[in-house]
Amino acid sequence: MLDIQTYVFFVTSFYLYSQMNHNKTLSCLINEETKDESPSFHHFTTQLHENLPLNSHPTHLDPQASPVLPQSPESLWSYSPLQTPSQPSLLFCCISSLHRNGNIHSIAVSEDLVFTGSNSRRVHAWQSLSSNCHAKGYIHANSGDVRAMVTYSNWLFTSHKDHKIRVWNIRSNNGSFRPRKVTTLPYNHHLKSLISKQTTQQHEEIISCMAYYHIEGILYSGSFDRTIKAWSINDKKCVDTFIAHGGNVNDMVINQLNGYLFTCSSDGTIKIWLRVYGETSHTLFKVLCFLGNPIYALAISMSQLQESFLYSGSSDGSINFWEQQLSYRYSHGGVLQGHQFGVLCLVVLENLVISGSEDSTIRIWKRQKRSSNHDCLAVLEGHRGPITCLAARVQLEDLSAMSFLVYSGSLDQTFKVWRVKLLQEMRKSPLRDEDMEGNESINVIQKSPVLSPPWVKMKKQLHSCSVHKDYKIV
């Protein structure tokens, strides 16, 4: 049996050989300032292209680049690197990749439309299909740096560099994409007479996250100014504002069943907020504090049994999760380990958890039914910078597999679309005997680390605290 050094040498050698004999270009670079129309995606025919260092030619490879498993020449699908090829549990491939001149900060999904926000003033819309993606159009705003986006029904909410929120109607007319701006928050119809009042309603710094409570029609926004604001969409005004944390408010999610608002911050805390019954003010319900590391991302998983799991991504690369108990109280259930650096974004899809990290990788985790145990099914490699945003959408299912799309954006200025298939035997996830032993200790899921890409190697030379701070302000 080969040891790990021999295995890595063999895979790296195969990778270098295959790339030195490949003559296709890496991607199509499109300059947004010189092209008014929305660009089309460039389709990759192999996943090996995604692991080359930036500005490199296929014949001049970085020997320190992360090796990947060779692909079958008959199929674009890749086996999960954490499973044996003879019995794969999950298959995935990158079906589209777009390289833009600007960091991708936010992604939102509305039915078959996907929206991407970046440093630019344009919010691009893409129509997502099972085989590829193509440009549908774009929304042009007066301010760029779209850090957060939320969709509901025909509405799209976007936050911008001017510390304002814009509401768009994205309803399609006869298949054509013709967005229309509904309003800007704070609403400035009588700006001259209300300028002092509007100033107090507006965030003072970057709006980093948003969440929409559709039952009450309230949009929540969190900012680096440490405050949270609640906006009444019907009244077009801010109905409540309060200082929520001692540091940047990085992310928020809402439980649509009861209106509980979860927020996380660089101060290392997660807080649960409740709106006072019959009023617009909010009160602090509970503080979840674990290890004190800055927390960058949140996600909540709901089931038909009204049980929920709350996930949080920390600066140390860990993913902590809490399980809802009686009286809507949450108890810490464990920690998922595998990422080398901070977890910047999380998304849940049924009993799957998808995480994006500063180490430029995406991990797919699966929670076992009737248990709090999690398994890491796959590591998606291809980006060459921190993964800043994620989204996912389930496709039509068949008897043998569950198929879904994963959308990822990164500071390497690329937006990627991944097609993933979870085989039926893994979806059933029969409860194992060892899961019934009643072990309630923290579940630490440790998997083989991913070999560091060049960006990670450069980051190791910097002080971790300063890097986390710089990232959130860039």
**DSSP per-residue codes, 257-313:** TT--EEEEETTSEEEEEEEPTTSS-EEEEEEEE-TT--EEEEEEEE-TTS-EEEEEE
Radius of gyration of the chain (CA): 22
> Tokens 């799209």 label which residue?
156
In tens, the pLDDT along 76-100 reads: 454 444 443 344 678 899 998 887 6
Q: How confident is the model over 358-397, as pLDDT tens digits?
A: 999 999 999 987 778 899 999 999 999 999 999 999 887 6
Average pLDDT over residues 190-204: 60
Angle (nearest 5°) at CA 362 between 357 and 368: 110
| One-character DSSP codes across 390-410 | EEEEE----SSEEEEEEEEEE
Of 174-188, 288-302, 355-369, 448-462, the poorest mean pLDDT is in 448-462
pLDDT for residue 159: 97
Instruction: Compute the distance between CA of residue 32 and CA of residue 118 in angstroms, rounded to an integer.
Output: 11
pLDDT tens figures, 13-25: 444 444 444 333 2
Q: In 3-state terms, what secondary structure has residue 464? A: helix
For 228-255, the DSSP string reads EEEEETTTTEEEEEEE--SS-EEEEEE-
Q: How far is it, in rounded angstroms, from Cα 285 to Cα 364?
A: 31
Q: What is the pLDDT of residues 342-354, one digit of tens each?
A: 999 999 998 899 9
Query: Does position 165 have pLDDT exceeding 70, yes or no?
Result: yes
Q: What is the pLDDT of residues 1-55, one digit of tens each?
A: 445 444 445 444 444 444 444 333 222 322 333 232 322 222 222 232 333 333 3
Q: How far apart are CA 70 and CA 29, in angstroms?
A: 26
Q: Average of pLDDT values for 259-282?
A: 93
Cα three-residue angle 379-445-428, rounded to 5 degrees: 75
Q: Which residue has the higher pLDDT, 268 or 50?
A: 268
Higher pLDDT, 406 or 193: 406
Higher pLDDT, 182 or 135: 182
Q: Provide DSSP, 28-51.
A: -EE-TTT--SPPPPBPPS-GGGGG
Residue 2: the pLDDT is: 45
Higher-pLDDT residue of 439, 235: 235
Q: In this predicted structure, what is the pLDDT of residue 449?
A: 40
CA distance 93 to 78: 6
